[in-house]
Amino acid sequence: MNRWRRSVGEIQARKKLVSECEQAQAAFIKLSACFQQMATCLGSNTDSSLLRDELEETRGQAHKICTGLQRRLLELLVETEQKQDDREQVERIWVLLLSALENFQQQLKRVIALQELFPIAVKKDRQALINTGASGGGTEVAGRAAMVQSPWVVTECTEKPDLQGHVLEIETLLQEMLQKVNVPLWSVKPMQKAWAEGTQEEDDDILEEMMEVEVVAPDGKSSCCSHSKCRLRCIFCLLN
């Protein structure tokens, strides 16, 4: 009975961990999206020291979540003693994290380049900023990033590296994930469609509605023509 209770407890703990990983994945994507949007303000007339502080804060929050998520996913995937029912779900999160890390790494490189091109250490540096005509900064985006919460009960005690170090750290994380876990990327199937795609028939119906032509007869009566050949004749008549 005690052994049975322990197995049930382990199953519940694993389900909880998988659920936390899903929440962490969603949180990391939100943070990286906010980081990317704030980075678009760098070098413009909306750039400021406050914006760069908010970028650093968002980057630190994303660093804590993604490092904790990477470590937990590896722990879940290396359990090969017996087939887990949720392995496909965990593998899907693993693939999503790979993609999100690569995108976030590119955004970090972009921020490094822009901050080197547009330093604002002193007031005169602002003369080099590009006047795009935009108003406001990334304050609203930073507010949304601040609302993102980590799913971990205990905050990760990892120290945030500098920008260059963060790029290298993500490269290490990616290599570690690919080397320690043997999951072919093409074998992971999505749970749902990326977007609602209409069928060919639905697309044709929409096109038909857009291409409808109202034909006015000599007696003043009008009729709507949707047949393709008839539409062409109507267009020629209207042009003539």
Residue 45 has a pLDDT of 84
Residue-by-residue pLDDT tens, the chain, 240 positions: 444 455 777 778 888 888 899 999 999 999 999 999 999 888 888 888 888 999 999 999 999 999 989 988 888 887 654 556 777 888 889 889 999 999 999 999 999 999 998 888 777 777 778 877 666 666 678 778 888 887 765 555 668 899 999 999 999 999 988 888 777 665 566 655 655 444 445 555 544 554 444 444 555 555 555 444 444 454 444 444
- CATH number, residue 109: 1.20.58.70
pTM of the entire predicted model: 0.71
Asked if residue 211 is part of any domain, the answer here is yes
Q: For strand 222-225 and strand 213-216, is the pairing parallel, antiparallel, or unpaired?
A: antiparallel
**Which of 187, 211, 230 is the last residue before a domain boundary?**
187
Our count of domains for the chain comes to 2
Same domain, 113 and 214: no
Q: Are residues 152 and 50 in the same domain?
A: yes
Is 207 found in the same domain as 178?
A: no
How remote is the C-alpha of 100 from its chain's centroid? 6
Q: Domain range spanning residue 77? A: 2-187
Same domain membership, residue 124 and residue 84: yes
